[in-house]
Amino acid sequence: MSQTPTDEVYGHYIDGDWTQGTGAETFESQNPATGESLAEFHRGTDDDVDAALEAAEDAFEEWRDHSYIDRAEYLWEIYHELRDRHDELGEIVTKECGKEISEGKADVTEAWHMVEWAAGNARHPHGDVVPSEVASKDAYMRRKPRGVVGCITPWNFPVAIPFWHMAIALVEGNTVVWKPAEQTPWCGQIIAEMMAESGIPDGVFNMIQGYGDAGAAITEDDRVDTVLFTGSAEVGQEIASKVGGEPGKLAACEMGGKNGIIITEEADLDTAVHSAIMSSFKTTGQRCVSSERLIVHTDVYDEFKARFVDLATDVAVGNPLEESTFMGPAIEAEHVEKIRRHNDLAVEEGAEVLVDRFELEDGEIPDGHGEGAATAADGERSGSYANGHWVGPFVYEIEYDTDLRCLEEECFGPHVALLEYDGDIDRALEIHNDTPYGLAGAIISEDYRQINRFRDRAELGLAYGNLPCIGAEVQLPFGGVKKSGNGYPSAREAIEAVTERTAWTINNSRKIEMAQGLSADITTSED
């Protein structure tokens, strides 16, 4: 699929074939910066999901018989294509989900890093040799693929996260049925084209375009052995609760967060302000690790607040294709309204607003003269960027209270609270941990004792010291605790979710000898 909008209606990839599916409904991919249509896609039905799952189930036995190395060979083709098309695909990511261009390109880079890790892991040692109590026995653990893996991925990392899930699942010998986010089907189409062009056997990889009903049909089907999900807490909890009640079926779900940064009295404020701006406003606050709470010690609060507010007031919102842009648009109109509701809630609960750029001034919205913009004959903006989903930073301070909804509920936007605290690191941790979520968090301090206390006592899955609360390297696990998740659908921990372990013991002697001193003698009534 090219970068040029087209009149073609794209479909699904099932059992090695492109198909329009059985439904009559279609939906559009839209550029969130302009509102323009990028492409049209057929919406998947239960029958389409059924066909994809049947294909995946039928392909499993033959696929699992391939060696690790043979399975990985198909992914190396994709690795090279991701690298060769880096700039092109980065621009497509930016056009479809609104991330500024360096983030769009980084999304593609992360994808090839994950493919490289998963495919390279095929040649690494697998399993564990475990000493036996009995000298004549060998004991070890061996992994086997679980079967059909259902993958449900989000719009904010439309290339990277699908490969978190699928690269590992495929190399480990599973077959896949994948539903991309309905907001980013163009990226899904391109990934499916890469899979098809790699020559991967029919039925091993299948893609269904569509909405949540298609995702539910995948995750709830008995033929799916593992569900890998990254997305909202509400959907993830529903998946985890349903799958958890089915014996033998697993779900690894990475969900949202109400992430916080602790800035102690020992913080370097240059590092603190830089990290907080990155954490709060990169990707327009639409990362599951974005920070919505800044917990600042009273000794440095006033200076930090002044510097943070100054930058938040000026941070560049604009055309995401331009390198000078720091924040692009929100993903869609419905999400803009969600951010508005969270901002209003903070005010209702007593917030003092420090920065309110929710409704941007006319001069802050791109003027339509930038790259890819549509302009009228007289040179005025034709309405292209005016139809985008624009929001700016919203910053407020509020006195901490455990019952405040604005400090408990995830906004998933450029919405951030400043909370002043007095006392030691344990007081900061008390505030930090007072949320139903536990995905990510950071501490800014020059005192290693404070840093290590945070590392050990913060309730989260991803912790950062003197860094933004943002970013991931593919070789590290990515997931959270509490409401933020029940698994880590990436890196080594994803292998746990898509494989079964067999503890294997073999006797090298002609005599049977048991552990724990258990007698192996067989006696009879005559004895």
pLDDT given at position 1: 63
pLDDT given at position 476: 86
> Is 288 designated active site?
yes
C-alpha closest to that of 363 among 389, 343, 386, 384:
386
Residue 388 DSSP code:
S
Q: Give the sheet arrangement for strand 26-30, strand by strand.
A: 9-10, 37-42, 26-30
How far apart, in whole angstroms, are the C-alpha atoms of residue 237 and residue 256? Answer: 11
Q: What is the pLDDT along the chain (527 residues), one digit of tens a residue?
A: 656 656 799 999 999 999 999 999 999 999 999 999 999 999 999 999 999 999 999 999 999 999 999 999 999 999 999 999 999 999 999 999 999 999 999 999 999 999 999 999 999 988 889 999 999 999 999 999 999 999 999 999 999 999 999 999 999 999 999 999 999 999 999 999 999 999 999 999 999 999 999 999 999 999 999 999 999 988 998 998 888 888 889 999 999 999 999 999 999 999 999 999 999 999 999 999 999 999 999 999 999 999 999 999 999 999 999 999 999 999 999 999 999 999 999 999 999 999 999 999 888 888 754 343 333 333 333 447 889 999 999 999 999 999 999 999 999 999 999 999 999 999 999 999 999 999 999 999 999 999 999 999 999 999 999 999 987 788 888 889 999 988 777 777 889 999 999 999 999 999 999 999 999 999 998 87
Helical axes 269-281 vs 298-314, angle rounded to 10°? 50
pLDDT given at position 2: 59
Burial label for 23, CB within 10 Å (0-12, 13-18, 19+), is middle
Radius of gyration (C-alpha) of the chain in whole angstroms = 25
pLDDT given at position 4: 60
- The partner residues of 205 in beta bridges, in order of sequence, read 176
* pTM of this prediction exceeds 0.85: yes
pLDDT given at position 374: 37
pLDDT digits (tens, 9 = 90+) for 20-57: 999 999 999 999 999 999 999 999 999 999 999 999 99
Q: What HEC string does 261-303 produce? A: EEECCCCCHHHHHHHHHHHHHHHHHCCCCCEEEEEEEHHHHHH
Query: For residue 461, what are its two tokens?
Result: 């899955």
pLDDT given at position 372: 38
How far apart, in whole angstroms, are the C-alpha atoms of residue 313 and residue 452? Answer: 33
C-alpha closest to that of 475 among 114, 103, 69:
114
Rounded to a whole number of angstroms, the distance between the first and last alpha carbons of the chain is: 79
Q: Which of 97, 288, 406, 411 is catalytic?
A: 288
Beta strands in 298-385 (DSSP E): 352-356
pLDDT given at position 378: 38
How far apart, in whole angstroms, are the C-alpha atoms of residue 283 and residue 331? Answer: 10
